Structure 1
Amino acid sequence: MARPNPDEATMKIIKTRLEEAQPRFPEECCIYRVPGNLRKSNEEAYTPEVVSIGPFHHGNQNLLEMEDQKSLYCRQFIQRSETKNLESFVSCVQELEAKVRGCYSEDIKLSKEELVMIILVDCCFILELLLRYHFMFTRRDDAILLPPRLRVYIRHDLLLLENQVPFFVLDKLYNLAFPSTLNGSNQRRSHPSLLSLTRYIFQGRIISADGFRLLSNDVRIAHFTDLSRKLLLISSHFSISGLSREAQVTNLYSATELNELGVKFEVNKNSQCLLDLQLSNHTLRIPFIRVHDFTEAYLRNLLAFEQCHCIHESYLADYIAVLDFLINTDKDVDFLIKKGIIENWLGDSNAVAKIFNGLGVNLIYQDLNVQYSHIFEELNAFCAHPWNKKVATLRRDYCNTPWKTVASIAGIFLLILTVIQTVFSILQVVH
């Protein structure tokens, strides 16, 4: 039976839909909405506190108070520039508008004019903020640099994945503003590189000072969240980002269990990079980490970026997997605090345990770097050795408190004396 031909109206609608279909994530996409399965674990960790940057949170009622301050900073940045010409800055952003729109994972429901205004104001606001801090410009009308608490929250907001603008726009506007004094040596007031200015954002974070020194100027930076991750990876002494990722995540004992089985824990003093875990013989060396109010949000946004943009290079997720295994309860946290590995600014050890146990929830672990895989294998092999298990049982049952230790030693000593006395008695009878 012959099939009837579809009517022209239906064909036209379907053809139009198919022709207008676009890839969800264009090649230049790098700024993402945090997936719902990650967001539901802690909504606040991904939401800006005081300032919106970019289109995703623009118009948020809780962030409107900063809009006038952003406009003021934008105006003062343009006045500070060599050109002092608003038209040149607007033209610069207009030329980049299509490329900027493609950087976001969602279809931006804003007109070209609206998006240009948002990107221009937000980028100039960031640049003026960085310059004011670098040159210590402080004015009586400065509502940002004067209150320390507000500065902390703004730096926090500038690192959130959803609260980003493309780095290339910042770079273009910065070079447009100071073409003759940028990195100059003879000018009365030369301007440092944009990368140097960004140091202000990372103050008090988990990034080591080595990162900025080692980061090449020609490295492509997508935005501040991406820069934060790159600084973390490049500061690793083990060059962890170059390691093979063919291993699978396996089980590992908790920190207190490993300690009972004879594994020693030390701070890795040879590296300030969080990722530089090292196992030598049966001593596990872990870099120091300070846990404070913003630590969870900072790590969550880095993990979300890895999950969305570079899941096959999830090196921070590897680290979180290890910490998640090592920390099960507040006792594990207390043990790592005692060893100097964790510094707890939250006050509650149970809160620290909840952070590290929650960070790994709903993460996709496709593989594990070989450095960590070897650590897992060696620790599990050490713990599986029968002699180590017997020693662990002895410690747990007879030496878990000072009094039990003393009592056990005394009992062993008395047993030895009894054996010696018995031997001498037998020898006396024989003679």
Structure 2
Amino acid sequence: MVAVYNKELLSWYLITLKLREKLQNADTSDQPDHHHHHHQSNLQIPSEPLQVVVNGEVKRQEDLQIQSPANPQESEWIIAIKEKLEQASNDDVAGSWSKICIYRIPHFLRDDQGLGDDKAYIPQVVSIGPYHRLKRRLHPMERHKWRALHYMLKRKRQSIKLYIEAMQELEDRVRACYEGPLTLTSNEFVEMLVLDGCFILEFFRGYTEGFENLGYERNDPIFAMRGMMYSIRRDMMMIENQIPLFVLDKLILLQLGDVNQKSIVAELAIIFFDPLSPIDEPLTARQITKMKSSLHPKSVAFHPLSDQVGLHCLDVFRRSLLRKGPEAVPRHWFRKWSRRNLVADHRRTQLIHCVTDLKESGIKFKKRKTDRFWDIKFKNGVFHIPRLLVHDGTKSLFLNLVAFEQSHLDCTNDITAYVVFMDNLIDSAQDVNYLHYCGILEHWLGNDAEVADMFNHLCQEVVFDINDSYLSKVSEEVNSYYDHRWNAWRASLKHKYFYNPWAVISFLAAVFLLLLTAGQTFYSVFSYYKPPNL
């Protein structure tokens, strides 16, 4: 008896049996006996009965059909397809898409034209989280992370085991926050959470309380008020460089003990990232004092986020920029992908005309005194726009905020709407220059052309619904005013003849001379037809 477990071996065995049967029939009829034995010896067919194990059942030779397989490669192909479908089913069941809040930059937002946008998404100094952990150029910062952890444990006189066990309890919950599979082992992942989380908290607390008060030297190469601080702050604002906020909340709870205070980490993050704000009015000393007081257990702290819970540092900063702004209404998939509402074509995202065109139609621009850079108003032909500060980190900040709004379903598109709106307003360096003249736009870049180029590239390939924007009503009012011909004529008249007092005097003098000439002509014609009676 021979037991065959391999399907290919079984196929060849059955073919061999069929060949032997044909040879035996041929030898019996036409060939002598010695040839018959010769063929038998060459084939080397075992004389024992064959038993085949199929799906766990033992079948004998006579129960099987002796035929060659139709197509072995096709069978393997079908098996591979079934395996992929099974994997897709497992991913759909095991993966909870609603928990993802830290995303990879979508490929359509990547830099395909060499414009340098990739640097706005990829950290240059420090890696936070798993996505860029193995980048070689970021390795020098790892030893400073270990220094931060050492200082923290020494200052608190705590054991590292306390933090490791806390992060092990959160591991599954944290992994669910990241998009895509992670290759880190359990130990590596927990180590990363402890190391990166404590590193972030040391920066937050050091920036607020003073690094020297935390035990760092005044000339520390990293933990000091130096130029490196700006690069680290910028990297920590990138969408791919985040860890969940509840991890930081847990770590600071272990450091400070039982603190009856909500959103401590969020408040510290707002202080730390405030220099990146595009608002030209930083936090007041009173606000910072209230935030600092949150580190004391019995204090009542400043709450810029009210009852909202941030997802990570980028989300916290976004919420702080939009404080008291438009209500965050969760979007739904059918709304997001509806062909009727969704506009992916950049030509259809034109909300308003550029500054130069609007100015020619008689629209005026004035700076609005507010700390909400997104709060734009239009009334009686006057655009009231808050002051915006553009610096070296503004491009990276806006690109990552837009990428987050493009990826995360449960947030509004308010930053995207503002960026698209400003992109429509600014087409050239002349537009930037006029906004600067009006006090609306301040920048620290090389020239006005760089600012115009920055805004013109912020919204490339961005999917934006023009009907789902808090600025849609303002755009309608502006366009209605712009399309009224009388406003354009009046503006043209004012631009040509009333642009200064001397022009007004010249215009009035010309009108007066014109009236005198008309009067003289009238009396001349009148006297010709009706001469005076003498």
Q: Which band: TM-score by shorter chain?
A: 0.7 to 0.9
Where does residue 164 of structure 1 map in the other structure?
A: 242
Matched, 1:118 2:207: no
Q: Does structure 2 conserve the Cα–Cα contact (< 8 Å) formed by 1:315 and 1:369?
A: no
Number of equivalenced pairs: 415
Matched, 1:20 2:119: no
Q: How far apart, in 2, do the equivalents of 1:5 and 1:243 lie?
A: 52
Where do 1:284-299 residues align within 5 Å?
284-299=383-398
* Matched residue SS, 1:148: coil
Q: Displacement, 1:159?
A: 0.7
* Higher deviation after alignment, 131-140 or 49-58: 131-140
Structure 1 pair 240–262 and aligned structure 2 pair: CA distance change class (3 A): farther
Q: How far apart, in 2, do the equivalents of 1:46 and 1:192 lie?
A: 27
Q: Displacement, 1:375?
A: 1.3
Q: How far apart, in 1, do the equivalents of 2:324 and 2:283 lie?
A: 8
Where does residue 450 of structure 2 map in the other structure?
A: 351
Q: Does structure 1 conserve the Cα–Cα contact (< 8 Å) formed by 2:390 and 2:444?
A: yes
Where do 1:67-106 residues align within 5 Å?
67-81=142-156, 84-106=158-180
* Matched residue SS, 2:450: helix
Where does residue 230 of structure 2 map in the other structure?
A: 152
Q: Does structure 2 conserve the Cα–Cα contact (< 8 Å) formed by 1:77 and 1:127?
A: no
Q: Does structure 1 conserve the Cα–Cα contact (< 8 Å) formed by 2:390 and 2:443?
A: yes
What whole-Å deviation, never above 9, does each CA across 1:289-328 have from its counterpart, x for those lacking one? 1111110001100000000113872111111111111100
What whole-Å deviation, never above 9, does each CA across 1:223-251 have from its counterpart, x for those lacking one? 11111111122243xx3546999798554
Q: How far apart, in 2, do the equivalents of 1:247 and 1:427 lie?
A: 69
Q: Does structure 1 conserve the Cα–Cα contact (< 8 Å) formed by 2:128 and 2:196?
A: yes
Matched, 1:219 2:308: yes
Q: How far apart, in 1, do the equivalents of 2:145 and 2:241 lie?
A: 14
Q: How far apart, in 2, do the equivalents of 1:370 and 1:107 lie?
A: 34
Q: Displacement, 1:49?
A: 2.1
* Higher deviation after alignment, 374-383 or 128-137: 128-137
Superposed CA RMSD in Å reads 3.2
Where does residue 265 of structure 1 map in the other structure?
A: 365
Q: Displacement, 1:399?
A: 5.1
Sequence identity of aligned pairs in percent?
A: 31
Structure 1 pair 57–243 and aligned structure 2 pair: CA distance change class (3 A): closer
Q: Displacement, 1:201?
A: 2.3
Where does residue 255 of structure 1 map in the other structure?
A: 355
Q: How far apart, in 2, do the equivalents of 1:292 and 1:349 lie?
A: 12
Q: 2:376 aligns with which of 258, 277, 281?
A: 277
Q: Does structure 1 conserve the Cα–Cα contact (< 8 Å) formed by 2:270 and 2:320?
A: no
Structure 1 pair 37–416 and aligned structure 2 pair: CA distance change class (3 A): same
Read off the aligned partner of 2:278 and give its amino acid letter.
Answer: I
Q: How far apart, in 1, do the equivalents of 2:450 and 2:124 lie?
A: 21
Q: Does structure 2 conserve the Cα–Cα contact (< 8 Å) formed by 1:260 and 1:395?
A: no
Q: Does structure 1 conserve the Cα–Cα contact (< 8 Å) formed by 2:167 and 2:190?
A: yes
Q: Does structure 2 conserve the Cα–Cα contact (< 8 Å) formed by 1:214 and 1:234?
A: no
Q: Does structure 1 conserve the Cα–Cα contact (< 8 Å) formed by 2:163 and 2:251?
A: yes
Q: Displacement, 1:45?
A: 0.5
Query: Gapped runs of 5+ residues in structure 1?
Result: 185-190
Read off the aligned partner of 1:260 and give its amino acid letter.
Answer: E
Structure 1 pair 175–391 and aligned structure 2 pair: CA distance change class (3 A): same
Where does residue 202 of structure 1 map in the other structure?
A: 273
Structure 1 pair 151–421 and aligned structure 2 pair: CA distance change class (3 A): same
Matched, 1:59 2:130: no
Q: How far apart, in 2, do the equivalents of 1:259 and 1:128 lie?
A: 50
Q: Does structure 2 conserve the Cα–Cα contact (< 8 Å) formed by 1:25 and 1:105?
A: no
Q: Does structure 2 conserve the Cα–Cα contact (< 8 Å) formed by 1:240 and 1:275?
A: no
Q: Does structure 1 conserve the Cα–Cα contact (< 8 Å) formed by 2:153 and 2:160?
A: yes
Q: Does structure 2 conserve the Cα–Cα contact (< 8 Å) formed by 1:70 and 1:121?
A: yes
* Matched residue SS, 2:384: strand
Q: 2:317 aligns with which of 228, 232, 247?
A: 228
Q: How far apart, in 1, do the equivalents of 2:376 and 2:419 lie?
A: 12
Where does residue 53 of structure 2 map in the other structure?
A: none
More RCO (CA 8 Å, sep 6+): 1
Where does residue 338 of structure 1 map in the other structure?
A: 437
Q: Does structure 1 conserve the Cα–Cα contact (< 8 Å) formed by 2:419 and 2:458?
A: yes
Q: How far apart, in 2, do the equivalents of 1:320 and 1:288 lie?
A: 14
Where does residue 187 of structure 1 map in the other structure?
A: none
Q: How far apart, in 2, do the equivalents of 1:305 and 1:47 lie?
A: 14
Where does residue 40 of structure 2 map in the other structure?
A: none
Q: How far apart, in 2, do the equivalents of 1:72 and 1:281 lie?
A: 59
Where do 1:299-318 residues align within 5 Å?
299-310=398-409, 313-318=412-417
Q: Displacement, 1:59?
A: 1.9
What whole-Å deviation, never above 9, does each CA across 1:68-96 have from its counterpart, x for those lacking one? 001110122223336x0211100111111
Q: How far apart, in 1, do the equivalents of 2:468 and 2:238 lie?
A: 26
Where does residue 33 of structure 2 map in the other structure?
A: none
Structure 1 pair 400–346 and aligned structure 2 pair: CA distance change class (3 A): farther
Q: Displacement, 1:366?
A: 2.4
* Matched residue SS, 1:110: coil
* Matched residue SS, 1:93: helix
Q: Does structure 2 conserve the Cα–Cα contact (< 8 Å) formed by 1:243 and 1:369?
A: no
What whole-Å deviation, never above 9, does each CA across 1:194-238 have from its counterpart, x for those lacking one? 2222233222213664998553464221111111111122243xx
Structure 1 pair 291–423 and aligned structure 2 pair: CA distance change class (3 A): same
What whole-Å deviation, never above 9, does each CA across 1:98-122 have from its counterpart, x for those lacking one? 1211111121111111111111100
Read off the aligned partner of 2:234 and give its amino acid letter.
Answer: H
Q: Which has the larger radius of gyration?
A: 2
Q: Does structure 2 conserve the Cα–Cα contact (< 8 Å) formed by 1:243 and 1:370?
A: no
Q: How far apart, in 2, do the equivalents of 1:299 and 1:104 lie?
A: 21
Structure 1 pair 328–154 and aligned structure 2 pair: CA distance change class (3 A): same
TM-score (norm 2): 0.70
* Matched residue SS, 2:418: helix
Query: Gapped runs of 5+ residues in structure 2?
Result: 1-69, 292-301, 336-340, 344-348
